[in-house]
Amino acid sequence: MLLKEISMTTVAFIGLGIMGGPMAGHLVNAGFDVVGYNRSQPKIDELVAAGGKGASSIADAVREADVVAVMVPDSPDVREVLAGEGGVFDNAKPGTLIIDFSSIRPDVTTELAAQAIQRGFRLLDAPVSGGEAGAKNAALSIMVGGDKSDFDAAADVFNAVGKTVVLVGPNGAGQTVKAANQLIVAGNIQLLAEAVAFVEAYGVDTEAALKVLGGGLAGSKVLDQKGANMLGRSFPPGFRIELHHKDLGIVTAAAREAGVVIPLGAVVAQLMASAVANGDGGLDHSALLRGVLRLSGQNPDSPSDSAS
């Protein structure tokens, strides 16, 4: 019932970047009345060309919305969009369901969710995994924190943009699981990079090695999707190291707060920080290989022997 109610009404979409842009487009295609807002106008024009509407401010976008979707880079951005002057809390209708797709600090999410409820709104934290390809193909994994009734009410929105959509707990739980996701992904990339540098040093056919590694217990999405970047020493983003660095700050702080000791998480956070410090922040996170090469006294800009 709630499902149908929402699917025939208006979604405000705040943040039409690499992820938010395609997601808003999928909502248009699913039959939602989508009103988009973005700081830069060209992204709004793209949404309008795809059948959506444009707004000149957050206030304009959310005033008539039944659902407000947010996809912005970091905790301060979400805080500004929701609780800032001229933001969602000041301008949305009572009862509006806010879905925050951004990846931010779990404690900021729980704080903003409490404010939202106090002011008569409903909020789900719904960070995603799957990257630009997942956003474009409506194949995102979405880890949702909040009330079951709100999760059920948002089903049509989630199904329009995601493939694996799971309610993992109360508000903040979505962000906690996303933090765990970023921990695993960063570590799996670093381990693959160490393995690649190791087998290359022994003159192994690295492409053949990755094939057989992928067939055994070492197999992973990271190996499937990031191995070729490493062999080719080519790291176009993808997911940028500077963003993953931000996320590892979230997970190490949240783990410390909870008294959970994460030795590999701590080390890979340092290695990600080193990648930023060495000017690799704009590269795909598979460029962690460059750090392994630097540590091993090799020139990260040289092509691999196995590729030459």
- Nearest CB to a copy of itself, comparing residues 10 and 181: 181
Considering only the C-alpha atoms of the chain, give the largest distance between any 2 of them, rounded to a whole number of Å. 65
Choose the binding region for a copy of itself from 20-28, 89-97, 218-226, 228-236 (rule: CB under 8 A): 218-226
Asked if residue 237 binds a copy of itself (CB under 8 A), the reply is no
DSSP assigned state of 303? P
Q: Which of 30, 191, 243, 273 binds a copy of itself (CB under 8 A)?
A: 191
The two three-digit tokens of residue 305, written as one number:
């022997």
164 in contact with a copy of itself (CB under 8 A): yes
**Catalytic residue (choose from 43, 178, 226, 246):** 178
CB 292 within 8 A of CB 197: yes
Nearer to a copy of itself, 39 or 256 (CB): 256
The minimum distance between CB 103 and a copy of itself, in angstroms, equals: 12
Residue 261 as a binder of a copy of itself (CB under 8 A): the answer is yes
Rounded CA-CA distance 89/93 in Å is 9
Q: Nearest approach, Cβ of 280 to a copy of itself (angstroms)? A: 16
Question: For 169, phi and psi rounded to 5 degrees?
Answer: 155, -165
Per the annotation, the verdict on 163 as an active-site residue is: no
How many residues at the interface with a copy of itself, by CB under 8 A? Answer: 76
One residue of 22, 87, 106, 146 binding a copy of itself per CB under 8 A: 106
277 binds a copy of itself (CB under 8 A): no
Q: Interface with a copy of itself by CB under 8 A: which range of 31-39, 85-93, 96-104, 213-221? A: 213-221
Which residues fall within 8 angstroms of residue 31, CB to CB, at 6 or more apart? Answer: 7, 8
Stretch binding a copy of itself (CB under 8 A), from 38-46, 68-76, 148-156, 248-256: 248-256
Other CB atoms within a 10 A radius of the CB of residue 123 amount to: 27
Least distance CB 81 / a copy of itself (angstroms): 24
Strands (E), 101-207: 122-125, 128-129, 140-145, 162-169
Helix axes 173-201, 106-118, angle to 10 degrees: 160
Q: Distances in Å between the alpha carbon of 34 and those of 6, 8, 69, 169? A: 12, 11, 10, 28
Q: Known catalytic residues? A: 178
